[in-house]
Amino acid sequence: MNQPPDTHKIPISEPWTLAVEGGGTGSRFGYYTPEGTLAAEWEGPPANSAAYGAGAPVDAALQASEMLEIGPRPLHVLAGIAGLATQRQRVQTARALRDALSARLVVATTDLHPLLLAASGPGDGVLAIAGTGSAILARNRWGRILRAGGRGPLLGDEGSAWRMAAEALRAACAWQDGTGPETVLSEKLLGALGVRWVDELVEWAATADKRTVAALASIVTACAESGDFVARGIVEDQARRLAALAVSAAEKLGLEDGVRCFTHGGVFRHSVLFLEAFQDNVRQYLDMQFMACPLTGHRAVFEALREVEKETPWAAVIRDEDAADRADAPMVMPGPLPPTEQHRPEIPLDELTPLELVRRMNRLDHAVAPAVARQEDALARLVERAANAIRSGHRIIYAGAGTSGRLAALDAAECPPTFGVPADRVVALMAGGEQAFIRSVENAEDDPSAGRADLEALRPDPGDVVIGIAASGTTPYVRGVLEQARELGLFTALLTSNPNPGIAADLVVCLDTGPEALPGSTRLKAGTAAKMALNIISTGAMTLAGYVYRGRMVRVVPSNEKLRQRAVRIVAELCATDPKTARTTLEHSG
């Protein structure tokens, strides 16, 4: 990825452009200057709205905005997104992107149109896609665009990797049933899937998604090129079907001999047999000029859509109606609320189907690990401080309220049995006291004096490390604990999901996971990020303090049969002895 631009040296008066090619396996983002120079790029999560829900493009774009450090400068967004089959979907996505990124202009279309328009310019052209899915897009010199195929596995996708693999699996089943010819596809496909009999494919097929099936296409093309006539027949038949769509689209638009046909996708790139069969079948009807797409990814999107200023039958154009009023006003990041409280500009959670809800929450969780990764240096400094405290006989003191406090208590409670450290060496202060661990005492977090008093009751000394956990970055109880700790000369740290917290600490670890699926519910992404960070802190501190040897938890307390077996296994492995000797030694040593 290119480095983000130096925002201190580049004027912000003219809009910059975020161009995105959003697909089913990943998305590619390019951040362009007003002059059209690529300043930075990033590869992110899938953005196919049909496969991953209407919010997928917004989620991916929000991550890109953060990774590319776009900030509050004027912005245009050009989006070529898979799955935007209707104008209603394109308008909905454009509005959501405008609201999420505070963009002045958004152009949204499919992932196919930019490829064709960037390649053909103002002239005639045909685009043939053969990848996981397939489609044909054709354009004549008067600007009329026609699409053929590309309606998914059930309604189309002739010539796609998915269709090729599906036909090969059916051919393997037909041979097993005695209704089809012998083919090496049976052995190759079964071996790739780790099964011995065709009947075992039934369970696999019930859960296999489109990409999983499509991944088998490389086996089909390899068998075809090695001489298996069944596999060759499948490859040539799918090439013929895609060619028929290309010819039909060209004829409907009145395209003549010599028209350019741009090919794109993994099947074209990786199978010479398929490409040649496609070309031969097309040439029976039209003498096309075949070539690969000269521009792909976000560059194709940028070049194809940068001049689009009004809505077309294939693209939605949404403007920020208030941008002119704000042009002379100082630009600030949207909203005074912490990110965890902010609303997500997409379809409300309660209007989703169960599957859409699961997909959204799973997709949003993809932002957690990158947020933790961006704080690796800060976490390393905190791990070192915490390890020094444990090593010198001092304590790690956590403080939190609500979800944050319960996560802290869980981490503290796990340290004695895992590492054999005394229970008073890692402790957790919880707003509301012990009863709040199992039952919510929400108003307890509003009292900073209670935080001060709880810390004082522990009789802290300057060698202790005090870590506050506050997703919002404003919890009064946590603020009281950290203020008291700093007055006593203790080292303090704050784990938060707010880039601008209202609590001071010697070290701030900002796990910025953005708005929650349910605004304000910090037990979701913010809680997951905090749990990951706490895992790192406690495990890292105990490891550096000598509670881990050669990667094993050598001071584990064998308090049940599972842990006794683990202790035997650790001793046997580290001492290169048998389990019986290890167990006897452990028993004799007490």
Each residue of 389-414: b (16+ CB within 10 Å) or e?
bbeeebbbbbbbbbbbbbbbbebbee
CA 261/CA 120 separation, integer angstroms: 9
Among the residues of 215-305, which ranges form H helices?
A: 217-225, 229-252, 266-270, 272-283, 297-305
Give every strand in the sheet of 145-148, ordered side by side: 145-148, 134-139, 125-130, 260-264, 289-292
SS3 385: helix
Q: Which of 244, 319, 291 is nearest to 94 (CA)?
A: 319
Task: Give yes or no for a contact between 61 and 20, defined as CB atoms under 8 angstroms apart.
Answer: yes
Cβ neighbors of 528 (< 8 A, separation 6 or more) are: 365, 368, 513
Concatenate the DSSP letters of all residues of 460-484 into one string.
--TT-EEEEE-TTS--HHHHHHHHH
Cβ neighbors of 518 (< 8 A, separation 6 or more) are: 349, 524
21 is a catalytic site residue: no
Structure tokens given for 514? 């953005």
SS3 535: helix
Q: What is the largest CA-CA distance in the chain?
A: 91
CA 250/CA 259 separation, integer angstroms: 9
CA 50/CA 409 separation, integer angstroms: 41
Give kind and range of the element (H or E) at residue 411: helix 402-419
SS3 143: coil
303 is a catalytic site residue: no
Q: Which of 99, 171, 163 is nearest to 135 (CA)?
A: 163
Helices (H) and strands (E) in the chain, counts: 24, 16
CA 23/CA 131 separation, integer angstroms: 11
Cβ neighbors of 300 (< 8 A, separation 6 or more) are: 21, 80, 114, 115, 118, 119, 293
Concatenate the DSSP letters of all residues of 77-131 into one string.
EEEEETT--SHHHHHHHHHHHHHHHT-SEEEEE-SSHHHHHHHHTTS-EEEEEES
Structure tokens given for 69? 């450090």
- From the list 311, 341, 356, 414, the catalytic residue is 414
- From the list 66, 158, 167, 445, the catalytic residue is 445
- What is the sign, positive or negative, of the torsion defined by CA atoms of 572, 577, 580, 584? negative
- What is the sign, positive or negative, of the torsion defined by CA atoms of 452, 455, 457, 463? negative
Contacts for 550-553: CB closer than 8 Å, 24+ residues apart: 550/574, 553/418, 553/419
Q: Which residue type sits at 288?
A: M
| β pairing state of 507-510 and 426-430 | unpaired
Catalytic site residues? 414, 445
